[in-house]
Structure 1
């Protein structure tokens, strides 16, 4: 089936920073992601939506290197990174946040960010390095914590943070890595109503950085409507629609078959 192009996708100015070409993965006889080709530009936020089992997280895993593709390519700034491991893709400029937080639970908030900065500079993860010899790292870590409103909790262990603050810390780790592409997989999952706005504010802040690209897997359509410049829809691992949010959300085909919603103007 051909992809529904609903209005002009990716109208914002910017060069293509990330691209997948015929990206595919098979598990036995099941094709979980089926020849997905899509290009993402700097300065844009693309929401990836679809029903449960549509292949959204699997697509993310293929891009970030948690899974090896059966076929196809992933290109970052024109460079083919398809054969790189996840850690090498991270150093190349892919920053991935997961549905579940990926922190060092027995280290403090500040130590978590400091280690991310060390990793970015390829200094290794030696916790026993003398802090005073890396004053620039500490200063930068403090800046990142201030940006995510965690300065007051800098000396708390990550494991002791409330869930919402753990998600904020995970965003801080991504910011410390300073990737070209930010990838958020359901960033508000498991969060209370009061916690959600904090994460959304952080993503809004990242959107102001016009040299960055943001990919967002999210099932909350109010979040998608507010943040996305573009929506792509996956169904059974296949790219089914691609366009500006209003056009995609209003499409009867997308609403009925892929989002599980009633068409606009009809009762749910």
Structure 2
């Protein structure tokens, strides 16, 4: 039986009188890419934020590899194997492309986040960092300051930093948002490559249906914060509940 790496149980968050995520129970298995879809305001990114620890849950539980992580910090969840790439870039803008990835590598390998250490003092780390940059086709920009990168290249760097963490669970929040037609395939090819490792799981928030059709093994649908559909892509995308949600119609009796 395929291992469940991540699970949410009755996960809920309220902001005042508004329920943004409403008792979502869902499990995510190793070797599976799950696309999380829904109309704007459905709670997709909020659900991601609850899982990764950016916001605290009002009720419910998040479990990673059998361990309750609901009250743990973002950094602690990361060390336990939960990796998140943000919809908005989360980088060190004044450092070089290479230094950003090297620092992630140092942290993962237990070398500490030392901004003053040199690449030469961590030869193995540097070699691994360069290999990741080659995968995302940023090796030629290794010495460029991150603040000088195009938006698309910043998104690719963020994916590189997530890959450098080698998490058990990869979380991508609209990874190609703002990318040009030429830039997006690099990131999509990387996610396809990551799928080949059947020991890990991938969660993907995405609006582009062509991307979802290409990558997803499974789709879950959120609407008004609630889980309203879960299953194989063809089945879920053909369902009335998804058609109504994306047409902006009111969903009743779900």
- TM-score, normalised via structure 1 length: 0.90
Corresponding position: 1:91 with 2:79: yes
Corresponding position: 1:80 with 2:52: no
Cα RMSD between the aligned structures? 1.3
**Shift of residue 253, structure 1, vs aligned partner:** 2.4
- Mapped to 1, the partners of 2:112 and 2:69 lie a distance apart of 22
**Shift of residue 254, structure 1, vs aligned partner:** 1.6
Counterpart of 1:45 in structure 2 is 33
Moved beyond 4 Å, runs of 4+: none
Counterpart of 1:260 in structure 2 is 247
- Mapped to 2, the partners of 1:162 and 1:134 lie a distance apart of 28
Q: Deviations over 1:198-222 (max 9, x none)?
A: 1111111111111111000001111
Q: What is the aligned length?
A: 249
Counterpart of 2:23 in structure 1 is 35
- Mapped to 2, the partners of 1:190 and 1:23 lie a distance apart of 30
Corresponding position: 1:173 with 2:158: no
Q: Deviations over 1:36-92 (max 9, x none)?
A: 000000111000000000000000000000000001111111111111011111111
Q: List gaps (5 residues or longer) in structure 2.
A: 250-254
**Shift of residue 261, structure 1, vs aligned partner:** 7.9
Corresponding position: 1:133 with 2:142: no
Corresponding position: 1:226 with 2:214: yes
Counterpart of 1:143 in structure 2 is 131
State which of 141, 153, 157 in structure 1 corresponds to 2:141: 153
Counterpart of 1:184 in structure 2 is 172
Q: List gaps (5 residues or longer) in structure 1.
A: 1-12, 263-268
- TM-score, normalised via structure 2 length: 0.95
Counterpart of 1:247 in structure 2 is 235
Counterpart of 2:99 in structure 1 is 111
Contact 2:228 2:241 in 1 (8 A): no
- Which deviates further from its counterpart, 15-24 or 247-256? 247-256
**Shift of residue 123, structure 1, vs aligned partner:** 2.9
* Structure 2 residue matching 1:96: 3-state secondary structure: strand
* Structure 2 residue matching 1:241: 3-state secondary structure: strand
State which of 58, 74, 79 in structure 1 corresponds to 2:46: 58
Contact 2:23 2:226 in 1 (8 A): yes
